[in-house]
Structure 1
Amino acid sequence: MIEEKSVKIDDREVFYLKRTGVSPKTTLIFIHGFPFSSSMWKPQLEVLPEGIEAYAPDIRGFGKSTTPHSFFSVDLFARDLFAFLDTLQLGQVVLCGLSMGGYISLRAAEIDRSRIKGIVLCDTNCVADTNESKLKRFSTIDLVASGRKNEFAESFLKNLFAESSFEKKDPGIELIRSIILSTAGSTICGSQLALASRTDTSAVLGEIAVPALVIRGEYDQVMTPAQAIQLQQGIRRSELITVPSAGHMSNIENPEVFNDALLNFLAKHFS
């Protein structure tokens, strides 16, 4: 059963989805991408085995979680993650982050690897933005700040999904569109600045000694094959899975293959 819950942490309220396990041996934390919410992880929460308990929090400002300000950074998001773990008294966990969620996972590994027993990096990378990428983010801020969030959403969606997903009218497209449109403009703009200013985390790859899984959609237009290979080659106990017929939203576009990869990884290392 998946429950929606909330917890007060300092001056903000964090909403999250929880999948309760039966005699759980492992705790899994799903971290959503930009500019999404915890609901993007429902196809995974629904299929987890009884020995896994899972949490999918809304990052501050996203979904239903509140924030007292929008001066964000990936470092702040990572420290929020640890505050969430501490508040719920969760010990070592497996992190599963997509895109921005992967950036947060890698920054968390830099801060305190002792809290992480496994890591799943989906459609993400470890390098900082190029100047070109930063300028694109600044253009997004201008677009959203000028009241054209709808225009941003439609443009952004084209980069998120594979062409085949649009052809078959994947319901995930409408889900993500609705999440983007419901996200506050201040959160979108603050997050774009956070992503543009994030640090390079490639140095931490060689220090990650826990089991790792790298997942990339076959037609991901946002993250390149080389970036996925860099993660896999940099983390010694890792494997790379390519999800066919999927773009950047690999967990939504092809949940069968994504879920098989995730469940096999969990069974192999944490059962």
Structure 2
Amino acid sequence: MLQKKLGGNHSLSYFITGKGNQSIILIHGFGEDSRIWKYQVDYLQNDYRLFIPDLPGTGQSAIGTGELSMESMAAMIKQMMDAEKIDQCIMLGHSMGGYVTLAFAELYPEHLTAFGLIHSTAYADSEEKKAARQKSISFIKEHSAAEFMKTTIPNLFSQRFTKEHKDQVDELIAQGNQFTSEALIAYYTAMINRPNRSHVLQNTTVPVLFFIGEEDKAVSPADALAQTALPTVSMAKLIPGIAHMGMLEATTELNLTIGEFCTTVNDLTTVTTTTT
């Protein structure tokens, strides 16, 4: 796996692997890094060219001066695509990565053949959600980023998974030690400030994937399901018994879903090209 890095105010480190004519960009969520996609990378790399960034403030990607936003992170992804001469891609984002994906879809729609929201939503934060994020910011300031990750990460999984796969939960907590308080607060602030992007789903002309956990407490399954009706073409999978971390909780289901979605997108692209 090749690692590269883009400079600038906010830097972006990213990994490249796989082979094939179709490019897929996998964007991690809050409190994660590119490693969260390891099982999906293993599954997809024989058929697709994969680009897996660490968002600014994660891994070797530094936060610079100025506000971090979904739009600024989407712009960094666009810079990566330009550097790698990627004209179009399928973009999949988990949680906060889905918010970045939606910002990208609004700013650069012509560069997407499809996109997917993995445990994510186009809705803006409710006032209740904003208040909860502000409480989290206060906790981080008072106790530290590491202590916050330790208390928060287990809540992203179903109780069954936390009990049966404690080693994987602990591994994610350990990986969370890389984050500074500055980075986590910047992410929370960006999430609080992001707008409702339901109109992006309504207006898009490309297929959209929704992967939903029935026990997800971070993204309402009911809200996610309601959004599946907005795009002209969408594919939705609601998985029982999992919460917010399908990459680990439902590896096989997510892999197969992404594979099916990408195959469908390629088939639709072929039909459109043939008939125009």
In 1, Cα distance between the equivalents of 2:182 and 2:25? 26
Q: How does 1:63-142 map to 2 (within 5 A)?
A: 63-69=59-65, 71-142=67-138
Matched, 1:207 2:197: no
- 1:12 Cα deviation (Å)? 5.0
* CA offsets 1:33-65 (integer angstroms, 9 cap, x no match): 002111101110001153310111000111221
Equivalent residue number for residue 18 of structure 2: 20
For residue 166 of structure 1, what is the aligned residue in structure 2?
162
CA distance 1:267–1:73, shift in 2 (3 Å): same
Report the alpha carbon displacement of residue 19 of structure 1 after superposing the two structures with TM.
Answer: 1.8
Give SS of 2:44's match: coil
Distance in 2 (alpha carbons) for counterparts of 1:217 and 1:195: 20
Identify which range, 122-131 or 242-251, moves more after superposition. 242-251
Give the percent of matched residue pairs that are identical in Structure 1 and Structure 2.
Answer: 23
Structure with the larger helix share: 2
Aligned partner of 1:9 in structure 2 is: 7
Stretches of structure 2 lacking an aligned partner (at least 5 in a row): 268-276
| Aligned-residue offset at 1:123 | 0.5
CA distance in structure 1 between the aligned counterparts of 2:125 and 2:6, rounded to whole angstroms:
33
Residues 85-131 of structure 1: CA distance to partner in whole angstroms, max 9, x if unpaired?
11221110000001001111111111121000011111011111111
- How many pairs are equivalent? 267
Select between 127-136 and 30-39 the one with higher mean Cα deviation: 127-136
- Structure 1 60/49 Cα, relative in aligned 2: closer, same or farther at 3 Å? closer
Query: In 1, are the aligned partners of 2:18 and 2:44 still within 8 Å (CA)?
Result: no
> Kindly tell me: are residues 112 and 178 of structure 1, through their superposed partners in 2, closer, same or farther at Cα, counting changes over 3 Å?
same
Q: Pick one of 144, 153, 157 that aligns with 1:157.
A: 153
Equivalent residues of 2:201, 2:230 under 8 A apart: yes
Shift of the 179–70 alpha-carbon distance from structure 1 to 2, 3 Å rule, reads: farther
One-letter code aligned to 2:260: N
